[in-house]
A and B are shown apart, each in its own frame.
Chain A
Amino acid sequence: MLAATIDVIAKDSSTSSQFEESDQDLVRRCVKGDSQSFRCLYQRHQSRVRAILYQLCDPTTLDDLVQEVFLRAWKGLPKFRQSAQFSTWLYRIAWNVASDQRQIAAKGRSRLEALTHQSPTHQDAPDLMHLHYQDLVQRGLKNLSFDHRSILVLHDLESVPQKEIAEILEIPVGTVKSRLFHARAAMRQFLYQEGVQL
């Protein structure tokens, strides 16, 4: 009985210590085959990966895409440079998955209309104006080119620094700034045409 209690406590403490560990430590454990460390990485990063993919891809395949991102990450972990930031590397994979999915969709796969997946599932009683603005933002993002949308989602919605975005997209920081400028201008123009005064 006592041994079992000690075992449970040990398990709990090892789990909590895993949560405190840095991404790099968890990655090192993963490379050695510790899948529980990968579970920690998944829990730590899945919501942001999900948010990025949601804005860049067809939401009907969101779960599959998230799974694909983490599968690719797991397979690619042995090649991951420990000096790099794990999140940057992971977002790069997410962006690649989004790009691939976009290319597949462009080849003729039917896509659902934007409005069909606008229904907010989390909110109990969202007001109509908020729903309207959500629809506008979503349509505005869809209205942008994939490059501009990627920049806007990563920088303005996910608060990823420009330098990190440059690494994720493998483009110079100057290009990030330029694309961000044009993306915002296009978004502002779209909102203005829809009657939104900022």
Chain B
Amino acid sequence: MSPFSDDDQDLVEFLREHRSPSPPPAVGLENAVMRAIATPKVQSSPRRWNRWIAAPAIAASLITAVLSYRALVPPQPSAGDVATLEAFIETNWNNTVSNRSDTELISINDE
């Protein structure tokens, strides 16, 4: 199969015939390329850098997470604290209920 249609063949041939040849490479270009690649590979540095930076970063993240958890989550109250709190709530509730019933009784009797 032809890579181009017959209609375009004349155009393609014209372009190929009259294309400008690229200028020859500078003397020593090949050696310059070979010298350039002879330097240590650049890509190895970021990889090594990544490896060295990754471990401390993960450790720092874990420490931060643990400290944040400890700081943000309230500590569990002791058994004594819980008992004191229950007693306070109970007393408070009883006082509230008893006061309320008195006033309601008074108001009903008044009516």
Chain A residues with a Cβ under 8 A of chain B:
35, 38-39, 42-43, 46-47, 50-51, 53-55, 59, 62-63, 66-67, 70-71, 74-75, 78, 117-118, 120-123, 130, 133-134, 136-138, 152, 155-157, 159, 161-162, 184, 187-188, 191, 196, 198
Contacts and interface: CB of A to CB of B under 8 A. Distances in A.
Interface in B11-53: 11-12, 14-26, 29-30, 32-34, 36-38, 41-43
Contacts of B18: 130, 133-134, 136-137
A112 to B, nearest CB: 13
B4 interface: yes
Contacts of A47: 22
Contacts of B23: 54, 59, 62, 117, 121
Contacts of A50: 22, 25
B8 interface: yes
Contacts of B29: 63, 66-67
A43 B11 CA distance: 31
B3 interface: yes
Interface residues of B, number: 30
A35 B34 contact: yes
Given A121-B24, A156-B4, A184-B11, A134 B33 contact: no
Contacts of A63: 25-26, 29
B104 interface: no
A103 to B, nearest CB: 22
Contacts of A120: 20-21
A51 B30 CA distance: 16
Nearest to A133: B18
Given A120-B20, A155-B3, A75 B15 contact: no
B43 A78 contact: yes
Contacts of B36: 67, 71
B47 to A, nearest CB: 10
15 contacts: A38-B34, A43-B30, A46-B30, A47-B22, A53-B22, A55-B19, A59-B22, A66-B25, A66-B33, A75-B41, A120-B21, A137-B19, A156-B16, A187-B11, A198-B11
